[in-house]
Amino acid sequence: MLFEKLNTPEEIFSFKLGSALSMENTVLDSLQDMQKETNRDEIRALLAQHEEDTRQHIANIEQSFRQLGEEPDDKPDLAMEAIAKEGKAMLKKIDDEIVDAGILAAAIDTEHHEIAVYEVLVTNAEARGAIEVATLMRQNLESEQRTLDAVKAVEERIAKGEGYAVATA
């Protein structure tokens, strides 16, 4: 669905849903890159699990489009593209000894954005009476929150145990 101008709340919702699809595809690419860069099997496993979760998020978004009677249509998510670009730039500047701190910081940034996107989608799906879509978006939201909690737990433990500071949100 291509809109030259968004004129209704439904069009805004469809645009945001398409943006979420693009967001998840960007995340999927970033997760694969980060798994190659990390020095720790624990982080690699966490990223691999989130890669699997992300594939389910994409399926949920595609199912949401079908529930709405629309074709999946990804719209650029400029915020996620910027987060991914920043993460890649940072990783190029980090010494190998602290690459995991950078990966975890980038993962936290990413999760916060994803959570914000899904909060909006859940609220708006409920407001338009699209209960099945709201349920699918709530599943994605809860999955992202679990991932954020897991990443923050690893980040905190590594930062305290190994003495390097990592920004937490």
In the prediction, which pLDDT does 166 show? 44
Q: Which residues contact 7 (CB under 8 A, 6 or more apart)?
A: none
- Write the pLDDT tens digit of every residue in 12-40: 899 999 999 999 999 999 998 899 999 89
- Write the pLDDT tens digit of every residue in 67-116: 999 988 888 899 999 999 999 899 889 988 889 999 999 999 999 999 99
Structural domains of the chain, with CATH: 9-162 (1.20.1260.10)
Distances (CA, A) of 51 to 73, 158, 164: 21, 22, 26
Inter-residue contact 13 to 128 (CB < 8 Å): yes
At 26 the three-state DSSP class reads helix
Amino acid, single-letter form, for residue 152: K
Helices (H), the chain: 9-37, 41-67, 78-93, 99-127, 131-162
- Write the pLDDT tens digit of every residue in 36-50: 999 899 999 999 999
Q: Closest Cα to residue 61, out of 131, 118, 1, 123?
A: 118
pLDDT band at 165 (very low <50, low <70, confident <90, very high): very low
At 67 the three-state DSSP class reads helix
